[in-house]
Every structure is written in C-alpha cells, then in structure tokens.
Amino acid sequence: MGTLALGFLAAWTAVAAYVGWLGLQQHRLSKRLDAAQQRDTTAAGSVRSRAA
C-alpha cells in the first residue's frame, strides 16, 4: 500500500509543481505586459504632447 501511495503522491506532486510553475510564469508575464503597456502609453503621450 505504501508503494501505491508513493506512486500517486509522486504523480500529483509533479503535476502540482508544473501547474505552480505555470502560475508563476503567468504572474511574471502579466507584470511584464503591464510594464510594457505602461511604457507604450507613456511614449505615445509624450509624442502627442510634442506634436501639440
């Protein structure tokens, strides 16, 4: 029974670790996306003000 539990524990730990890693990547990507969009908006604003 111990071996069976170990097998299933290993499988679910690996899946949970992969899902956790995906979540971490998503979090980092969201932060980078926000920063890039912020820079984009700021740059567009400064171009508009210079044009005006």
Partner 1 sequence: MRYVTTLLPASFIAALTSVALVMIFLWAPREITMGDVQRIVYLHVAVAWCGLLGCVAMGLMATMYLVRRRPGWDHGSQAAGEVGWLCTTLTLVTGSLWAHEAWNTWWTWEPRLTASLILWAVYAGYFLVRSSIEDPQRRARVGAVLAIVSMADVPMVVMATRWFRGMHPVSPEMDPSMRWTLLVSVVAFTGLFSWLAVVRRKQLSLAGRVLSLEQQSEGVVRWEP
Instruction: List residues binding partner 1 (CB under 8 A).
Output: 1, 3-4, 6-8, 10-11, 14-15, 18-19, 22, 25-26, 29, 32-33, 36-37, 39-40, 43
Q: How far does CA 17 lie from the centroid of its chain?
A: 14
Tokens of 19: 């899902």
Q: How many CA atoms lie within 13 A of 26 on its CB side?
A: 6
The H-assigned helical ranges of the chain are 2-51
Minimum distance from CB of 51 to partner 1 (Å)? 18
Minimum distance from CB of 23 to partner 1 (Å)? 10
Minimum distance from CB of 13 to partner 1 (Å)? 10
